[in-house]
């Protein structure tokens, strides 16, 4: 199996197809059977999605733009992107996540078959390293937490190679290490090595982008009590 740092890509896949799928489906969902920490993370994550939508739409309409949502989870971003008329390619390493995203998209997107402007995202089960093609914009939210910095560089370089104009990443910043310990304990509980969480220094992400020929144009920071995300939008340097 391919390695994702100290963990292993197979372990991450297995987690997000099973207990991780159940946990995150709830956190990213709408039902109220979540605890206080999970609710806090739900709110923080939805702010990240809102911020990304704002970053994207303030540069112009998304109609007809090709957007790759790498590690799409339950489709929290893919669905609003499709609503704005983007041509979305949504993929995730977890088949369970992709199935959930597809179901939600069918529920929430009214697709007009007669040349309407909203089209269903194209869903695919794929790890992001295997993604090919070119997209106007590539977005990858809250996935870097599964990559140690030495794997993150290659991951960022690969995503950048798929993007023509814009790359948006969110990650858990290292500056919030101590606050994050709590969250990590909640998200990845138990004695098992199931999945580890990796935080990233902003300078390291910036350096990886620079190495790939990209520079940061916009930054955002989303914090709630248990959720911390640094958001960066990069463009070709």
Told to check if 76 binds ligand SAM by CB under 6 A, we report yes
Work out which of 11, 28, 42, 82 binds ligand SAM, going by CB under 6 A.
Answer: 28
Burial code (b: 16+ CB inside 10 Å, e: under 16) for 145-171 equals bbbbbebbbebbebbbebbeebbbbbb
CB closer to ligand SAM out of 125 and 216: 125
Instruction: Decide if residue 79 touches ligand SAM (CB under 6 A).
Output: no
3-state DSSP call for residue 124? Answer: strand
Task: Give least dist CB 212 to ligand SAM, A.
Answer: 18
Residue nearer to ligand SAM on the CB measure, 115 or 188: 188
| 132 contacts: CB under 8 Å, gap ≥ 6 | 162
* Structure tokens that stand for 79 in this block: 């669905």
Instruction: Report how far residue 137's alpha carbon sits from residue 165's, in angstroms, rounded to the nearest whole number.
Output: 6
* Four-CA torsion 167, 219, 186, 156, nearest 10 degrees: 30
- Alpha-carbon distance of 75 to 212, in angstroms, equals 27
Q: Which span sits near ligand SAM by CB under 6 A: 33-41, 86-94, 116-124, 222-230?
A: 86-94
**Dist. CA 77–CA 200, nearest whole Å:** 22
Q: What is the DSSP string of 9-31?
A: HHHHHHHHHTHHHHHHHHHTSS-
Q: Which is nearer to ligand SAM, 142 or 233 (CB)?
A: 142
Distance (Å, whole) CA 156 – CA 69: 14
Among 7, 71, 80, 173, binds ligand SAM (CB under 6 A): 71
Contact flag: residue 72 with ligand SAM (CB under 6 A): yes
- Region from 54-62, 92-100, 171-179, 209-217 binding ligand SAM, contact rule CB under 6 A: 92-100
Q: Which stretch binds ligand SAM (CB under 6 A): 30-38, 87-95, 173-181, 213-221?
A: 87-95
In the complex, what is the shortest distance from the CB of residue 154 to ligand SAM, in angstroms, rounded to a whole number? 11
Is 82 within 8 Å of 116 (Cβ atoms)?
no
Under the binding rule (CB under 6 A), the answer on residue 92 touching ligand SAM is yes
Nearer to ligand SAM, 65 or 70 (CB): 70
Q: Which region, judged by CB under 6 A, interacts with ligand SAM, from 36-44, 142-150, 196-204, 226-234?
A: 142-150
Quote the CA–CA distance of 46 and 127 in Å, as a whole number: 23
Strand partners, 173: 200
The residue range among 80-88, 135-143, 203-211, 214-222 that interacts with ligand SAM, by the rule CB under 6 A, is: 135-143
- Should residue 86 be labelled a site residue for ligand SAM when binding is judged by CB under 6 A? no
In the complex, the residues that contact ligand SAM under the rule CB under 6 A are: 9, 12, 16, 24, 28, 71-73, 76-77, 92-94, 97, 127-128, 141-143, 146
């Amino acid at each position: 199996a391919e390695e994702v740092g100290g963990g292993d890509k197979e372990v991450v896949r297995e987690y997000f197809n099973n207990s991780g799928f159940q946990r995150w489906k709830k956190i990213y969902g709408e039902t109220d059977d979540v605890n206080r920490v999970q609710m806090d993370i739900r709110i923080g994550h939805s702010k990240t999605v809102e911020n990304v939508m704002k970053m994207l739409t303030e540069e112009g309409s998304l109609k007809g733009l090709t957007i790759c949502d790498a590690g799409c989870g339950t489709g929290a971003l893919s669905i609003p992107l499709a609503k704005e008329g983007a041509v979305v390619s949504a993929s995730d390493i977890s088949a369970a996540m992709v199935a959930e995203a597809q179901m939600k998209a069918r529920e929430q997107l009214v697709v007009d078959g007669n040349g309407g402007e909203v089209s269903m995202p194209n869903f695919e089960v794929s790890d992001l390293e295997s993604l090919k093609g070119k997209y106007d914009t590539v977005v990858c939210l809250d996935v870097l937490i599964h990559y140690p910095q030495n794997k993150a560089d290659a991951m960022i370089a690969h995503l950048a190679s798929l993007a023509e104009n814009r790359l948006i990443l969110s990650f858990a910043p290292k500056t919030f290490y101590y606050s994050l310990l709590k969250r990590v304990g909640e998200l990845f509980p138990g004695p098992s090595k199931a999945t580890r969480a990796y935080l990233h220094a902003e300078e390291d992400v910036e350096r990886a982008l620079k190495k790939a020929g990209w520079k940061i144009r916009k930054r955002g920071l989303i914090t709630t009590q248990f959720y911390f995300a640094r958001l960066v939008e990069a463009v070709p340097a």
